Chains A and B, each alone.
Chain A
Amino acid sequence: MTPSLAVPAQRLVATAIFVAIVAAACGTTPTPTPPPAGSSPTPGPSVGPSGTLTVALSADAESMDPHRVYQKAGISIVEALFDTLIAIDRGDRSKFLPGLAESWTTAPEAIEFTLRSGVTFSNGEPFDADAARFSILRVMDVDPTTGAPIEDDALKLNSDYKRSYGAVTSVEAVNPLTLRINLGRWDAGLIPALATLPIIAPNHAATVGNEGLKTQPIGTGPYLLEEWIPDDHATLVLNPDQWERPRGAALVDRVVFRPIPDVTTRISELTTGGVQIAQDIPVDQAAAVEAGGATIVAFDDARHTEIWLTADKGGQLATSGNATPAQLQAIEALSKVEVRTALNMAVDRNAYVDALFKGFATPMTQGFVPGDIAYLPAIQPWPFDPDRARQMLTDAGYPDGFEAEIDVCTCDAAIADLITAVQADLARIGVRTTIREAEVGAFNGAWASGATNPMRASRLSFLDPNIYGQFWLKGGGLLSRFADPEMDRFVDEQAAQMDPARRLEVLHKVAALTHDLAPAIFLVGFQSVYGVARTGVSGWQPHILGHISVLDTRVGG
């Protein structure tokens, strides 16, 4: 789940997440810049794939079923085992590359893919339009035989990726090399969704079933799974059947992914050469990694954290009659844009970035962060001005401030310090908050059913702004407690806009509204931090989607 309300670290990134951009700038040692292998892949015979690359992940894959893998750790493995119809460029998430589809055309009523011929799955099944159709229908919980939605709840996959396909009415294999996705309406989020949908072998899937797929992945990808000892390692070997992939070339012949949950151990493995790349280095350990002889690569993959405000006077708490007078006062106060703006002016974002994130973060100025396509750099930050904020509260009728509870997921321990700091800043203008911790199930359930407290913390990241807009920003969205007619119109307009440039204009209007209407106290965008060995590995670069891509990476030398 990802954009979970509070994205649990576990499933954090899920879905769609991944927005991102290389943060060349952010202060730390820059990304080692080898010649971008992506631009000159295809090793000649003299420099064929060789060696073993070992990668330390912070968790193991949830599963080997790529349609049920949501974390960055698992996606790192999935990306090496499977191909997608189209691929997102590692360095530019608005750029799409050919994959199993050589080309595609878009129209309001359909997307049509021309598929690559001669590709086979690693079990010998041919890749064709039927195979591609199978994978798309599978995440949609549609029966490929009848083309009708699966009714039996026990047979549904319930993939988190399903929500991206709401606009799809049917999927047709026009001929073996032509796939047509029919749309009820245009949805700008569909292309990014398809660019992250692994294509699996359909006959194999039918044979082993949903359960079997959790341990037996069969794809067309650059690597094959040789062995998976859960919580120990997954060993991948080069697929002998290679084709030239625009997204990157396989340059090593073995990849070992090792889940090492303990961060100190992960760093020790990195500094002793046990692994060449390590995921998820905490910011306070970055110096230790450098001192140990490895390089820190910091990378802005557009993850951000904020505290959402009940701004629509709605939700179960407000309407049930069970709310305390204090809660009702908070809900009333938060419905006023002056109050929400005052809260945004009361928090010292720069201090959070320096003290809590050691510079591996950026203060938010709006609902988007650098790397989100909707991010609008021209928006000026809220000034940090507690005095004026207090005055604004007084002017709005709250000279003594008010009380509010903040829901925080226990899965978000990583931002506990941040929320505590925010709490102190808010207290300074008279807004007295209480943190209410909830386990992820209860937390998400309360949010989705509208039973949340007036404030709730989240960590979010999105593949495309559309899901964010539909679920968080639009009035009536499942997780939205904010309603503004103009925002609703823009959110719908960007989704329906086929022209990327015109869509961007609309998205920028959405971004401006997130600043002006402040549906949340937007806090910081934080970076992914990796450790990379200084010797023995070259060419590796972070991926904008936040996982570790092993393509274009060499070992030795």
Chain B
Amino acid sequence: MPRSAVGFVLRRLAYQGVVLVGVAFLVHVLILLSADPAQALLPPTTSPEAVEAFRRAQGWDQPLPVQFATFLGRAVQGDFGTSIRFGQPALAVVLERVPATLTLGLTGLAVGLAIAFPLGSLAALRRGTWADGAVRGFAVLGASVPGFVLGQVLILVVAVGLRALPVSGGGSVAHLVLPGLVVGIASTPGLIRILRASLLEVYGRDYIRTAFAKGLSPRAVLLRHALRNAAIPVVSFLAFDIAALLSGVVIVERVFAYPGMGSLAVQAISGRDLPVIQAFVFVAALTIVTTNLLLDVAYTRLDPRIRGRR
């Protein structure tokens, strides 16, 4: 790898570290601002002295900067403390849920792409026709319907009405279909619009005209030339979309009682399992930051012009 690329990656890694520390700090402060955790965790009939003793035992009587420094020192070693609910290392508790959420997220992504590519291509190729209008209408609708509503509609129609799929839960491919659809549909509107715009731009290029001129069928032009080039902005959009995907998954997991990171986070928040909340936010932030980093690096490989610019 050229030196400039190495420098670029190192700089990016440094930014990533700054972002993560910032996120950790915000979460730490926000949790402590929201309420006194000692008071929230103990029964209300606990005497003030006992609450004070508990607070000391947990280190929550220390000044905020000291608490944060201690937290950070442990966090860099992967130690986010022990889950209050499970009595196990918080990070391990969160990581245990990653496969389930990843499976759901990737299924959603696959569904989203599977819907967006044909529809986006259709809208671009039939620009201005009723088909274009219909696809764009679908995109608006998809963007407007919240996941928890769509999830319930799908449950009522497919699982309750048709009895075709399980209502909720995890553990089998059948259980993935409905939540996967909801996650996927949520990301299609953006994908369709990006793809449509990108295809329209690509179709104005010389190499497309060349392809048509050498006698390729419209289908071959689309598949071999246009889509490949039009896909680049779609990929960068996906990187942005990871955060939205992740937050969508949290809602969808709750609706479908799906045992992923989202369910864990919601439960941790209501149960004030501070170490788990912190570990979850850290993992989520790390995922987003890392995805962006990888994408940036990938760009430098794909498109040398970007490398030069940074």
Q: Footprint of B on A, CB under 8 Å? A: 1-5, 10, 14-15, 59-60, 62-63, 65, 153-154, 156, 158, 160, 163, 210-215, 229-233, 258-262, 264-265, 268-269, 271-272, 274, 292, 439-442, 444-445, 447-449, 467, 471, 478-479
User: When chains A and B are docked, how far (Å) is the Cα of A1 from the Cα of B255?
Assistant: 27
Among A163, A211, A212, A444, contact of B39 (Cβ-Cβ < 8 Å): A444
Question: In which size bucket is the chain B interface?
Answer: 35 or more
Binary contact readout B35-58 vs A (1 if CB under 8 angstroms, 0 otherwise)? 111111111111110110110110
- 10 A-B pairs with the lowest CB-CB distances in the bound complex, closest first: A441-B40, A211-B87, A441-B35, A232-B259, A214-B87, A153-B57, A445-B39, A1-B43, A160-B43, A231-B263
Which of these binds chain A: B135-143, B160-168, B229-237?
Answer: B160-168
Cα distance, A103 to B35, chains bound together (Å): 46
Do A213 and B87 touch (CB < 8 A)?
yes
**Cβ contact within 8 Å between B39 and A3:** no
**Measured CA separation A265–B168 after assembly (Å):** 7
CB atoms of A163 and B85 under 8 A apart: no
The answer to the question of B152 belonging to the interface, with a C-beta cut-off of 8 Å to chain A, is yes
| Cβ–Cβ contact A153 & B53, under 8 A | yes
Assess the B254–A261 pair: CB atoms within 8 A.
Answer: yes
Instruction: List, in ascending order, chain A residues with CB within 8 A of B88's CB.
Output: 211, 214-215
Q: How far is the CA of A284 from the CA of B294 in the complex (A)?
A: 49
Contact A268 B155 (CB under 8 A): yes
- Interchain CA distance A361-B206 in the complex, whole Å: 75
Q: Which residues of B contact A153 (CB under 8 A)?
A: 53-54, 56-57
Residues of chain B with a CB closer than 8 A to A441's CB: 34-41, 272
A283–B45 Cα distance when bound, in Å, is 30
Q: What are 10 inter-chain pairs, A to B, with CB distance below 8 A?
A: A1-B42, A1-B44, A60-B267, A65-B87, A261-B266, A439-B34, A441-B34, A448-B44, A448-B47, A448-B48
Q: What residues on B are CB-neighbors of A478 within 8 Å? A: 45, 47
Inter-chain CA distance A441–B271, complex, in Å, is: 11
B270 and A444 form a contact (CB under 8 A)? no
Q: How far is the CA of A18 from the CA of B39 in the complex (A)?
A: 23
Most buried by B among A62, A65, A210, A445: A445
Task: Determine whether B282 belongs to the interface, using a CB cutoff of 8 Å to chain A.
Answer: no
Complex formed: what's the CA distance from A363 to B40 in Å? 30
B85 contact set on A, CB distance < 8 A: 62-63, 214, 230
Q: Does B152 lie within 8 Å of A264, measured CB to CB?
A: yes
Q: Are A262 and B255 in contact (CB under 8 A)?
A: yes
Bound-state CA distance A2–B43 (Å) is 7
Residues of the A chain whose Cβ atoms lie less than 8 Å from the Cβ of B152: 264-265
Q: Decide: A442 near B168, CB < 8 A? Known: A210-B87, A214-B87, A471-B45.
A: no
Contact with A along B216-259 (1 / 0, CB 8 A): 00000000000000000000000000000000000000111111
A34 to B208, CA, bound (A): 76
Question: Within the complex, what minimum Cβ distance (angstroms) separates A165 from chain B?
Answer: 13
- Beyond contacts A14-B43, A59-B267, A441-B36: 9 other A-B pairs, Cβ-Cβ < 8 A, are A5-B44, A213-B87, A215-B88, A232-B257, A261-B263, A261-B266, A274-B168, A445-B39, A449-B48
Chain B nearest Cβ from A132, distance in angstroms: 24
Closest A residue to B272 by CB, please name it.
A441
Which of A4, A10, A258 contacts B43, CB < 8 Å?
A4
Q: Are B263 and A233 in contact (CB-based, < 8 A)?
A: no
